[in-house]
Each structure stands twice: as structure tokens, then as C-alpha cells.
Amino acid sequence: MRLRLARSRTTLVRAGLTIALASVLAGCDEAHSVFHPRTTEARRVAFLGWLMIGIATAVFLLVLALLVRSFFGPPLRRRSAGGTSWIASGGIALPTTVVILLSGLTVWAMNDTRTGGGIEISAIGHQYWWEIRYPGTAAVTGNEFHIPVGRSVHLSITSTDVIHSLWVPELGPKRDMIPGHTTELTWHADEPGTFRGQCAEFCGLQHAEMALIVVADPPEVFDRWLATQAADASAPSTAVAQRGEQVFTTEPCAACHTVRGSVATGTVGPDLTHFGSRATLGAGVLSNNAEHVASWIANAQSFKPGSLMPPIDLSADEVRDLTAYLEGLR
Ligand code: CUA
């Protein structure tokens, strides 16, 4: 009986250590990780993360040691002076110190993450995609932020429906997107790169598929990109894309999407003026290529159930034409 109990304790301890190790290693993926910070703000968050893991590990080991001692050591005397000091130190002093320390460091980590100045970007959360505007220009895009390296980027953040949270772990902390309220965040990319972001507040059925990318480019590349995005869509140049534009403006597409420079001015879904230049569609659900666009148009619900994009009843030729039109919007 005693042997079986000892074995089950060993199994329990082993399982605990395995889970703890797995949790730490799960955060070590190179992409989309708090532990690969690329900015000063993100480095503070990473430091805080490691410190929390360190404190949690120390507390875990302490509790484990006490547990082992309670199993195998001599029994503690009840109401001893030692018992009272354990409650005072382990139950009051230690948690109070840890909470005060982490609260102070959290305030320090949040410092300077909402300063003004630099490039202005307006980020608006929708179920389940990101609307991105560049105030002062006509540029509007979806699910893909572009920012210049070496310049501050000031984000004004809100939502049109429910609470979302904008989170790009390699660039900085999370910021909630609250309907009717504007929050702020500053990004300052030190080097070029593409960084994945994710909605970090449960917002409905497709919360997990509400991803984004941030492309940090050298300032001159960013300036060219912004000028292109601010321009209207150029008229389709091929016969198939011209037919696609006809489909786009006569079928339900135009009621929900805008293509600046055309008669399509819908505001329910993402602005598609330069859709062909984006890397993904459906807020990161699929990579942006002709095959995926055609499948998405035919039945977006099979990729993203619960999104507002309905299945569109089109012939195979119409889907081909529409795809050519959308892919040509660069
Ligand atoms: Cu938007 Cu979760």
C-alpha cells in the first residue's frame, strides 16, 4: 500500500515537472513569441515574462519541497512558533512582496507605450478582421500593417462591435480595442521584418482566426507603399479582369466592400482597393493566391464559419473573372 502511494507520488511529481517544462518550451517558438522581442517595449515585456516564470518556478519548487517534507519528514508540531512564522512569511509576506514587485515592474514595462508623435495609424477591430487607416492619407487596408523602421508609430485603437485586443508580441504589449473608446499604443521597429500579431481578447467564434501581420520596411520603401495604398485602384487591364469588375459591382460584393476609384463603396467588410498586394486573406486564414481567393469567394464559411462573408452563388467563369480582378488590385 505504502509502496503504491510512493509510486503515485513520484508519478505526480514527474507529471508536474513535465507540464512545467512543456509550458516553458511551448513559448520558445521563434515566430510570434514574447521571448523574441525586437523593440525596447517588447524587451521590457520579455524581461517581465522571464521574471514571472522565475518567481513562479521558485514558488513551485518551494511548495514541492514542503510537500515532499510533509510526506517523508518528521511531523510538524501543531501551533508551534515555527508554524505561525510559516503562515506569516509564506502566506502573507511572500505573496505581498511578489504582487507589489510585479505590479511596479508592470507599470514600468507599460511606460512609454502610448506616446504621441511619428506616423499616425488608426486600427479598428471588427469580428473578425482588422481595419487599418493612415489618417491624413486616403490609404485604408485590412489585416496588414505597414510601418517604417526607425520611426515611431502611434496607433489609435478602437472597435466597432465587441472588445478585441491588438497584440504583436515581438513589437510590444497588448492593447484592448474597446467599442466607443480610443486606446493608444506606440510601436518603434528597430529593424525590418514581418511580425505576426493576433487578437488577444476572446471576441466570438473566429477569435482564434483573427490574425494580422506587421511589415516593417525601410522608410523609403514604406513611403512608396503608403503612396500606392493612398491612390485609387487602377482600371483592370485584361478582358478577364474587366469582366471580373462587372461581377464585383453587380453582385453583392460591392454592397459590403469598397474599391476606391470604382462604384463599390460598401463598408461592412475590408477595403479591397489594393487587395492583390496583401499577403493573406480572411485575416490570416489563407495565403493570398488565385486558388485560395476563388475558394474563399465560393464559400468563405467553410474556412471561417461565423464570419460575415456569405457564400456567393456564382458560376465557375464568374469566380475566375472575379479572382482575376481582385488579384489585379495591386
Ligand atoms: Cu477579435 Cu478576439
- Residue-wise DSSP of 249-270: HHSTHHHH-B-TTSS-B--SS-
104, part of any domain: yes
Task: Tell me: do 255 and 307 sit in the same domain.
Answer: yes
Is 208 close to ligand 1, i.e. is its CB under 6 Å away?
no
Please write the tens of the pLDDT for every residue from 62-78. Answer: 999 989 988 888 776 65
Is 128 close to ligand 1, i.e. is its CB under 6 Å away?
yes
280, part of any domain: yes
The pLDDT value recorded for residue 5 is 47
Task: Tell me: do 261 and 180 sit in the same domain.
Answer: no
Task: Tell me: do 106 and 123 sit in the same domain.
Answer: no
10, part of any domain: yes
Q: Do residues 314 and 297 lie in contact, with contact meaning Cβ atoms separated by under 8 Å?
A: yes
203, part of any domain: yes
178, part of any domain: yes
Which atom of ligand 1 lies at the shortest distance from residue 163's CA? Answer: 1
Q: What is the DSSP letter of 37?
A: -
What is the chain's length?
330
The pLDDT value recorded for residue 81 is 57
The pLDDT value recorded for residue 85 is 82
245, part of any domain: yes
C-alpha cell, 10: 513520484
Task: Tell me: do 104 and 8 sit in the same domain.
Answer: yes
The pLDDT value recorded for residue 14 is 62
Q: Do residues 154 and 121 lie in contact, with contact meaning Cβ atoms separated by under 8 Å?
A: yes
Is 201 close to ligand 1, i.e. is its CB under 6 Å away?
yes
Instruction: Count the domains in the chain.
Output: 3
The pLDDT value recorded for residue 102 is 92
Is 86 close to ligand 1, i.e. is its CB under 6 Å away?
no
- The domain of 212 spans 119-218
Look up cell 522565475; give the residue. 54
The pLDDT value recorded for residue 7 is 55
224, part of any domain: no
Of all protein residues, the one whose alpha carbon is nearest to atom 1 of ligand 1 is: 164
Is 126 close to ligand 1, i.e. is its CB under 6 Å away?
no
Instruction: Give every residue of the chain whose pLDDT is below 70, as ranges.
Output: 1-31, 76-83
Which atom of ligand 1 lies at the shortest distance from residue 164's CA? Answer: 1
Find the 168 Cα to ligand 1 centroid distance in Å.
13
Task: Tell me: do 172 and 214 sit in the same domain.
Answer: yes
pTM metric for this prediction: 0.81
CATH label of the domain that carries residue 289: 2.60.40.420
The pLDDT value recorded for residue 157 is 97
